[in-house]
Structures are given as C-alpha cells and as structure tokens.
Structure 1
Amino acid sequence: MKYKNMLNYDTTVKVNPYFMNLAKVSELTKVSPRMLRYYENLGLIQPHRASNNYRSYTQKDIENIKKIKILNDAGMNLKDIHVLLPCFDLDERVFTLCPVVQEKLQTELKHVSDQLNKLQTSQSLLQSFLAKGKAESTNI
C-alpha cells in the first residue's frame, strides 16, 4: 500500500492545442505561406494568434487546409470552397448536402436548365432556317 499515492499529477495542467507555426504547416501541406495567409484573409481558415501575434495551427486547421487544397485542385474556386468546406468530410470522402449547398446547387441547376432551353430554341430556329431556305449557288 505504500505505492498508492506515488502517481500524484496535476490534472489542471492544460496542453496547448496550437502546436505548429506557419512555416511548419506550409511544409506539411505543400501550401505556400502566402497562400495560407490568403486563405485566412478569405475566412477559409482561422488560425489562433499567440501573444506575439504569430499564427498557431491545430491539427483541425491542417485538415481544413488539406480539404481546401483537394477541392481547389479539383478545379473549384475559393469562393465556392468557402461554401462547400463545412460539408466535405476528408476522411470519408463524403459530401453532405448542407442546406446552403443544396440551395446553391438548385440555383445552379435552374441556371443550367434555362441555358439549355435557350440553346434548344436556337437549335430549332437554325434547323427551321435551313429547312425553309434555298441553298445559294456556288457558280464560280
């Protein structure tokens, strides 16, 4: 029983979850420091600021940066990524249809349908002109 209280440790000690600086995150994610700052300016990531005003990144920040990179490499612009980011699960490669995204996709679908209708009308007119018109002689 003399070993009963040997492991006295302080449970009030808090571990700082912010553990990586800008250079280290840039190295890990293959995203330039300038682009990381740009992501921050756009509100895509929000690193913690230490008392010296240096950026500190968590593992969650790094995961978000990887998501941004994947979506950007897929051809999406950063404005759309800002909307889609909360709905994209990197680990599962799953896309959850958030209400905001659902609305955006419905709006885009309507736009595409309208464009398709205009193209079909144009196609019909061109076919009508060709069917009713006379072919011009090409005597040279």
Structure 2
Amino acid sequence: MTVPDLSSVQPGQLLARGAGRLLSSYGFVSVEELIPARGLRVDVMGLGPKGEIWVIECKSSRADFCSDHKWEGYLEWCDRFFWAVDEYFPTELLPDHTGLIIADAYGGEVVRMGPETKLAAARRKVLIQKVATTAARRLQGLRDPEMALEWG
C-alpha cells in the first residue's frame, strides 16, 4: 500500500478528505465540490444510507470563514449543515445553530450535530441524482480523460 503524498494538498482539501472519511464511517458516500444550484458550490455533500443529505463546508482559517458569504444559501440544499475545521480553528466564530466537525486529513469527529431540517422530496430527488451523476462522471473521467474534456 502506497502512502499518499499530501504535502501539496491545500488545507481545505485536507479537511474535505477527513470529512469524507468521517462520513464514510457513518455509512455515507460523499462528493467534493458539488454544485447544487447555479452560483453555489459546496465543499462536501454527503449522501446517507437512508437518503439523508449533509453539507459540510471546510474552513481552514479565520480569513477563509470571514470571506464566505454564501454558506447560508447552502442550508436549503441539505438536511444537516456542518463546518469542518481543524483543532486550531477559533470555533467561537461559527454559528451555534450549525453543526461542527473537527477534522484533519485522516478523519474527523462530530463535535456538534447540525439541526435537522428535512428537504422536500422533489429537492432530495434532484440532489441524489446530482450526487450520482457527478460521481459517475468523475469516475468515468479517471478512466477516460477525453470524456472529461467533453463535459467541461
């Protein structure tokens, strides 16, 4: 087994990696950088074993958090919303009515469960299809990079 070289990976990507591993431990699958609607791009969207949808926004610094003005728009695209930050992040900046995950490149822990707000069935169906389509295209793009160019 080869150990991946993570030295060139951005801090937010390391958090997303750890958040994905955490989601997997709950039986979820996840897709990074998913676009639920025009103008929005979530860092991690998790799809749970019962069809639940979680959004996780990864913040690597105070400046990264303070410059994010779109996060509240993500709330209508998930059943639960979480921040993923490292152990040194000033968590007092994060709104109390959101979930909190402390993570690193190798995993994470839910410190505060995000409140549940059930999605409408029609929106859930659209999101499940987006997760499936995005994941399938990315996998196909790895096997056939020329196809990935066609999708843009």
Pairwise TM-score range, normalised by the shorter structure = under 0.3
**Higher helix share goes to which structure?**
1
**Higher strand share goes to which structure?**
2
TM-score by length of 1: 0.25
The structure whose RCO (Cα within 8 Å, separation 6+) is larger is 2
TM-score by length of 2: 0.24
